[in-house]
Amino acid sequence: MPPQLPGLVPLVPAVSRRSLVIEILGNEIRSGQYKPGDRLPTEQELIGRFGVSRTVIREAFASLKAEGLVVTRQGSGAYVSANPLGNPFRIAPEEMSSLPQVLYFLQLRLAVEVEAAGLAARHRDGRALEKMGHSLDQLDEAIHSNSSIRESDYEFHLAIAEGTGNPYFERFIRFLRNSLSPGREIDPALDSEEARGTFFAAVQTEHRQIFAAIRDADTEAARRITRAHLEGVLDQYRRLGASGLAYAETGTR
């Protein structure tokens, strides 16, 4: 479990280009600007409109698809779903503005990812293992350079979901990620580069242990270590609540 963090302080989340694309296209669909069955603009058209990369557009489509707003057809593009104004399961970014909601979200994540790790160990997919290893190498580089680990950490957990052999785990992890403003994270405001490096190195050690258990097809160890890893994150947030610290962006406690 990661060491206790002194002075845990939430940072104001950066609004990403991806979240803006999701918000704008989603609002256009919900408002009726695009009707059920309408073909959405092509990736190239949206790249030109928003000035973003192809990856951003594809991730935005994945999020809108998870919300039930969009369907994709191989070789044809993306279309508004038949019932875009239905009531699919959704976690809106504004729901993450207070600590209790974040704790609920993390409990959901724990329930899903513990089982995903066990299934990934049982399935032991070579391609997913390769992606896990690559994301861990990227995490090492990020920690070494004292840069954000957010994306590589997400890619590691996504690779585990892909390794289950059950596409719904992957879709759910993508949905959970894209339902929050990318970049929304509470980061330890550690007062030195050395302290930050120590903390993230401890997190990375747990990642490596999870990877080893999956690689070795040790289902129970994969579940146990993943649970300890995510419960450690929950404990950090609970300590944040106990300390009375507030979210910087809302002032809520």
pLDDT digits (tens, 9 = 90+) for 182-199: 333 444 444 566 766 777
More reliable by pLDDT, 147 or 21:
21
Distance CA 41, CA 19 (A): 18
- Check residue 15 and give its pLDDT: 41
- Check residue 164 and give its pLDDT: 97
Q: Which residues partner with 22 through β-bridges?
A: none
Residue 3 clears pLDDT 50, i.e. is over it: no
What average pLDDT score do residues 36-53 get?
92
Residue 233 clears pLDDT 60, i.e. is over it: yes
Ramachandran assignment for 249, one of left (phi > 0), alpha (psi -120 to 50 degrees), beta (any other):
alpha
- The percentage of the chain sitting over the pLDDT mark of 70, rounded to a whole number, equals 75
- Check residue 192 and give its pLDDT: 64
For residue 144 the two structure tokens come to 């070494």
CA 38, 41, 45: angle at the middle one, nearest 5? Answer: 170
Q: State the CB neighbour count (10 A cutoff) for residue 242.
A: 8
Instruction: Identify which of 93, 92, 71 has the alpha carbon closest to the alpha carbon of residue 83.
Output: 71
Distance CA 169, CA 174 (A): 9
- Check residue 186 and give its pLDDT: 44
- Cβ burial of 223 (10 Å; 0-12, 13-18, 19+) is buried
- Check residue 158 and give its pLDDT: 92
More reliable by pLDDT, 83 or 110:
110
Length of the chain: 253
- Cβ burial of 18 (10 Å; 0-12, 13-18, 19+) is buried
What average pLDDT score do residues 148-169 get?
90
Q: Is the dihedral of CA 76, 82, 85, 89 positive or negative?
A: negative
What average pLDDT score do residues 207-219 get?
97
Distance CA 186, CA 209 (A): 24
3-state secondary structure 220-233: HHHHHHHHHHHHHH
Residue 170 clears pLDDT 70, i.e. is over it: yes
Domains and CATH numbers, the chain: 17-80 (1.10.10.10), 93-243 (1.20.120.530)
- Check residue 151 and give its pLDDT: 83
Q: What is the mean pLDDT of the chain?
A: 79
- The percentage of the chain sitting over the pLDDT mark of 90, rounded to a whole number, equals 36
- Check residue 120 and give its pLDDT: 98
* Poorest-pLDDT segment among 42-51, 165-174, 223-232: 165-174
Q: State the CB neighbour count (10 A cutoff) for residue 141.
A: 12
**Whether the model pTM is above 0.75:** no
Distance CA 124, CA 221 (A): 14
More reliable by pLDDT, 245 or 59:
59
More reliable by pLDDT, 161 or 234:
161
Distance CA 233, CA 227 (A): 10
Whether the CB-CB separation of 247 and 102 falls below 8 Å is answered with no
Instruction: Identify which of 64, 172, 152 has the alpha carbon closest to the alpha carbon of residue 109.
Output: 172
